[in-house]
Amino acid sequence: MDAYKRWVRRNRDYVHSLESLANGLTWLLPERFSESEIGPEAVTTFLGIITAINEHIIETTPSQKGSVSSEPHSFPYSLCISALKDLETLVEVVAQHYYGDKKKWNFIAITEATKVLVRLALFQNSGYKMLLHGGETLNIEMPSDDSNSQLNIRGCPKPEGNQRHGYLQNNYGHNSWNLEGRALSALNRFGENARMVSEPVWLQRIQHQQALMELPAPMVERPTLLKLLSAKGAIGALFLMGEVLFITRPLIYVLFIRKYGIRSWIPWFLSLAVDFTGLGFLSLATRSRHDGKEQTFHLSTSEKDELKRRKLLWALYLMRDPFFSKYTRQRLESTGKQLEPVPIIGFLAEKIIELLVGAQTRYTYMSGS
């Protein structure tokens, strides 16, 4: 196993290229969304778990200064959550094949409940920090608030106060307040932002972990629930409720589908309400005060991106029944018919619509966490 870990860490780019290629090819497997899709789905699940293991190996690469792992917990929570997400679809397919459409929700609910327990345990062990990508990415980044953080987005020391003038002057050879100096500074910031947007998510994730390992690890005591509530008061309670609602939302959705059926509007509206309420609590807890005092919760760059990601995930409600069956699917089929006479484009559109309709039955109710 140690030899495999060393090989993965030395060939991380090659490993990720192979994983991306293999995962992409699984969508072209025959009968992927038919009644006999257990085999293809098992292959997809296996590849997903291998990918999660490889990412965990890369993320826990010992730093050059020592053998300390970047994983702050003895239990690999992020790896466990990734494996459960990959297994969930296979559990659904097998349960549907052997037990039918109604009883499959019992198995899905058990899987979702397991994910909730693992995420709640991670939430507690992390000192009640916001979960990134549902707990699949470790949240160990220092806060990036401009007025308080001494680290910029790349983990480099940020100049303070009067040092900024000399910092820009030394780096660019110009006064930071003249036009040329400001232009050079803006171009530098633009280059950094463009590179971040263009880099793949997995590469940003690895660079984030490497930057953290190069920094001296501060000894920070993890706050307990009582300490957090006593220090933050009602704002802390809002933050906790917002995270708990985000963690439990998929389980609530599945339980109500199990009770009322996938065609009922009750689970759809209830899930949307839980998402909206949870994000509202988090927005209130992280909002800057208007009396000149500092922000109650200092969000890191990763946490700010996570809040944006959660808002974007609301688009998945367009792909969830009954909204999908009554509205979205009709629009997709209408678009497909209009593009059907067009060579190549019509074929590609038909294939894309087929994949969207197939994925809608498997991957939309569990997504968003």
Say if residue 254 is in the same domain as residue 294. yes
Angstrom distances, CA of residue 202 to CA of 5, 54, 207, 366: 18, 11, 9, 21
Q: How confident is the model at residue 153 (pLDDT cuts 50, 70, 90)?
A: very low
Determine the Cα–Cα distance for residues 48 and 12; give it in Å rounded to an integer.
16
Say if residue 269 is in the same domain as residue 307. yes
Q: How confident is the model at residue 63 (pLDDT cuts 50, 70, 90)?
A: low
Position 104 pLDDT exceeds 80: yes
Kindly give, in sequence order, each residue whose CB lies less than 8 Å from that of residue 88, ignoring residues fewer than 6 positions away.
108, 111, 112, 115, 366
Strand partners, 151: 157
Within a domain: residue 313? yes
pLDDT at 139 (0 to 100): 86
No. of helices (H) and no. of strands (E), the chain: 14, 0
3-state helix, strand and coil shares in percent for the chain, rounded to the nearest 5: 70, 0, 30
Say if residue 238 is in the same domain as residue 361. no
Q: How confident is the model at residue 277 (pLDDT cuts 50, 70, 90)?
A: very high
Identify the DSSP state of 64.
T
- SS3 state of residue 152: coil
Within a domain: residue 359? yes
Q: Which range of residues forms the domain containing residue 291?
A: 113-140+225-317
Say if residue 256 is in the same domain as residue 359. no
Domain boundary among 299, 317, 335: 317
pLDDT at 171 (0 to 100): 41
329: which 2 tokens? 């699917």
Say if residue 351 is in the same domain as residue 256. no
Say if residue 310 is in the same domain as residue 326. no
Nearest to 243 by CA among 124, 155, 114, 106: 124
Determine the Cα–Cα distance for residues 234 and 44; give it in Å rounded to an integer.
44
Say if residue 132 is in the same domain as residue 230. yes
pLDDT of 12-59, one tens digit each?
Answer: 787 778 877 777 776 666 655 555 678 888 888 888 888 888 888 887
What is the count of structural domains for the chain?
2
- SS3 state of residue 145: coil
Say if residue 127 is in the same domain as residue 236. yes
Within a domain: residue 354? yes
pLDDT of 298-312, one tens digit each?
Answer: 788 999 999 999 999
Cis peptide before 76 (omega within 30 of 0): no
Say if residue 300 is in the same domain as residue 246. yes
229: which 2 tokens? 């509530």
What's the one-letter identity of residue 343?
Answer: P
Choose the weakest-confidence range: 68-82, 143-157, 256-270, 347-361: 143-157
| Contact predicate 141/304, CB 8 Å | no
pLDDT of 358-369, one tens digit each?
Answer: 778 766 666 656
| Contact predicate 95/244, CB 8 Å | no
Averaged pLDDT, 141-156 = 41
Say if residue 231 is in the same domain as residue 363. no
pLDDT at 305 (0 to 100): 94
Strand partners, 132: 137
Mean pLDDT of the chain: 75
Neighbouring CB atoms inside 10 A of 272's CB total 16
Within a domain: residue 151? no
Q: How confident is the model at residue 117 (pLDDT cuts 50, 70, 90)?
A: very high
pLDDT of 211-231, one tens digit each?
Answer: 555 545 455 567 788 888 888
271: which 2 tokens? 């899930």
Within a domain: residue 15? no
pLDDT at 120 (0 to 100): 96
Choose the weakest-confidence range: 124-133, 249-258, 352-361: 352-361
Q: How confident is the model at residue 80 (pLDDT cuts 50, 70, 90)?
A: very high
Residues of the chain with pLDDT > 90, as a percent, come to 34
Determine the Cα–Cα distance for residues 162 and 165; give it in Å rounded to an integer.
6
| Contact predicate 248/116, CB 8 Å | yes
Within a domain: residue 349? yes
45: which 2 tokens? 């699940």
Within a domain: residue 337? yes
Within a domain: residue 150? no
Q: How confident is the model at residue 289 (pLDDT cuts 50, 70, 90)?
A: low
Position 282 pLDDT exceeds 80: yes
| Contact predicate 184/172, CB 8 Å | yes
Say if residue 313 is in the same domain as residue 268. yes
For CA atoms 239, 138, 301, 363, give the dihedral sign. Answer: negative
pLDDT at 307 (0 to 100): 94
pLDDT of 161-208, one tens digit each?
Answer: 444 444 334 443 434 334 444 444 444 444 444 444 444 544 555 555
Say if residue 247 is in the same domain as residue 307. yes
pLDDT at 169 (0 to 100): 40
Tokens 């294939």 correspond to 351
